[in-house]
Amino acid sequence: MSSEERRVFGARVADLRKQRGMTQGELSAAIGRTASWLSQVERGIQPVNRLDVLRLLADGLGVPLQVLEPAAPPPAEAEPTPQPETNDLDQARLVLSGHPALGVLLSPRQDFRPDTLDDLRAAVVKVWDLTHGDRFAELSAAVGPLVPRLERASRTAPAKYLPELHDLLARTYQALAAAFVRQNEADAAWVAADRAIREAELSGDPLGVFAGVYRLCHAFVRLQHLDQAEHAAATAVSALQHHAEVDEPAPQHLSVLGSLHLMLALVHARSGDRPSARREIDAARVIAHQLGTDRNDFNLEFGPTNVEVQAVSTAVDLGDAGEALDIAKDLDTAGLSSERQARLLMDVGRAHAQRRQYADALDSLLRAEELAPEMIHTHVASRSVVHDLVLVAGRAASDELRALAERTDSLP
C-alpha cells in the first residue's frame, strides 16, 4: 500500500466502525488486536496487506471483504460457503475464561457511547432467541463480541447507564447458563449463572438475582449435586415467600417463586422423593393459579401450562408413566416456545417407552425433533430413550428409528 492508499483504507475502516456504533477498543477486542494497532490503521500509518487480516477485520466490522477492500480478490465461485459442522459453544466457553475486561482495569476511562444502547438491547434479545431455538453455534458466535462489549461498557459508562448495562449482562449470562446446561456443560453453566447473579445484583433488580439462582440450580442438577441444588432453591423460595407475606407480590415475583418450586420438584424427583416432588408441584400450581396466565418473566416461561409440562416430566422421572400421559393428554402448549413444546413431547416419548409402547415413543420423539432438533440430538434424556428403543428393537429396528439413533449418536 502507498501512503495515500493507507490513508483511504484507514478512513474507510473508521467510517465502517462508526456506522456499526463500535469504539476502537470494541473492534480491536473483537478481532484480537490491540487498540493501538487499529488506531494506526485508521490513521493510515499501519498497512494491512495480508488477506487473512483483511478478512478478520471485515468480519469484525460485519461487512463483506470487498466492501472493506474493493481490490481484494473475490471468493472463488467453485468454493461453497463453509457451514458449521457442529452446534457447539466453544467460543462461548472462551468468553467465560478469565477476566472479561482486563484492558479497562489498566486504563480506566469513560468512553461509552449511549447511542450504542439500542444495538446492545437488540443483541441481548437475539441471544435469548438463539438460546430458545437451541442454535448454539450462532449463539456462541454472537456472544463472542457481545459479552466483552457489555463488560467494557459497564466499566466505562456514566452512572446513569450502569443499571441497564448490568441488567443486559445478567440476561446474557443467564442465557449462556441455560444453553450450557442443555449442552451438558454444567461447569460452564455454573460460571455463567454465578456471573448472572452478580450482574443482576449490580443492576438493582433483586428478582434477577433469584432468576440467576434458578439457572445455578440447573447447573447443580446436571452435575448431580442435588444437595446444592436443593439448598440454593429452598433458600431462595424461603426469602421470596417471606417477602410475599409482607408486600403484595408482583406477577414477576410470582413467576420466579413458582419456577423455583418447580426446580425443587425436579430435585426431589431426581432423588426419588415422591411426596416432596408432588408437594412442590402442588405449590407451583397454586402460584400459577394466582398468576392466572402463562408469562415469560426472565425467560422462565412460568404459568399454568408450564407447571403441567413440568408435572409430566416429574412423573416420568419418578417412573409414573401413566400419570404423565394422563396429564399430557389434554395439555395445550401452543402458547409456549417450541423448546417447551418439544420438551413435553420428549417426556411423553419417555413415558411411552416406560410403558413399552415403543411405536408411540418413537412418534413422540420424531415430533419433538421437528420442533427442536438440536435439543433432541443433544439432550441426555432423549438420547438415552432412543438408545433403549434401539436395544429393545434389535434387528427389527425400523429404518426411521435407526436414522434417529444416528442423528442423536445413540446407536448401541
Q: Average pLDDT of 133-152?
A: 91
How far, in whole angstroms, is CA 267 from its chain's centroid? 21
Question: Could you read off the pLDDT of 356-379 as tens digits, one per residue?
Answer: 999 999 999 999 999 988 888 888
pLDDT of 28 higher than 60: yes
Q: What is the DSSP letter of 64?
A: -
Scanning the structure block, which residue is given the C-alpha cell 442465557? 175
Do 346 and 333 contact (CB within 8 A), yes or no?
Answer: no
- Whether 11 has a pLDDT exceeding 70, the answer reads yes
CB 182 within 8 A of CB 379: yes
Q: What burial letters (b/e) apply to 289-310, b meaning 16+ CB within 10 Å?
A: eebeebbbbbebbbbbbbbbbb
C-alpha cell at 38: 487499529
CA–CA distance, 370 with 197 (Å, rounded to integer): 34
How large is the average pLDDT for residues 21-30? 84
**pLDDT confidence tier of residue 78, bands split at 50, 70 and 90:** very low
Dihedral sign computed on CA atoms, order 192, 198, 201, 206: positive
Q: Is 167 helix (H, G, I), strand (E, B) or coil?
A: helix
pLDDT band at 355 (very low <50, low <70, confident <90, very high): very high
Q: pLDDT grade, residue 49 (50/70/90)?
A: confident
pLDDT at 364 (0 to 100): 95
| Average pLDDT rounded to a whole number, residues 221-246 | 93
The pLDDT tens digits for 169-192 are 999 999 999 999 988 899 999 999
Checking if the pLDDT of 80 tops 60, the result is no
Cβ pair 51, 58 in contact under 8 A: no
Alpha-carbon torsion, ordered 231, 233, 239, 240, to 10 deg: -170
In percent, how much of the chain has pLDDT > 70?
96
15-to-10, 43, 121 alpha-carbon distances in Å: 9, 12, 23
Mean pLDDT along residues 270-294:
96
C-alpha cell at 319: 417412573
* pLDDT tier at 60, thresholds 50, 70, 90: confident
* DSSP notation for 90-137: HHHHHHTSS-TTHHHHHS------GGGHHHHHHHHHHHHHHHHTT-HH
Residue 84 has pLDDT above 80, yes or no: no
Mean pLDDT, rounded, of the chain: 90
Q: Is the pLDDT reported for residue 13 higher than 60?
A: yes
Q: For residues 214 and 197, is the Cβ–Cβ distance under 8 A?
A: no
How far is Cα 125 from Cα 102, in angstroms, rounded to an integer? 26
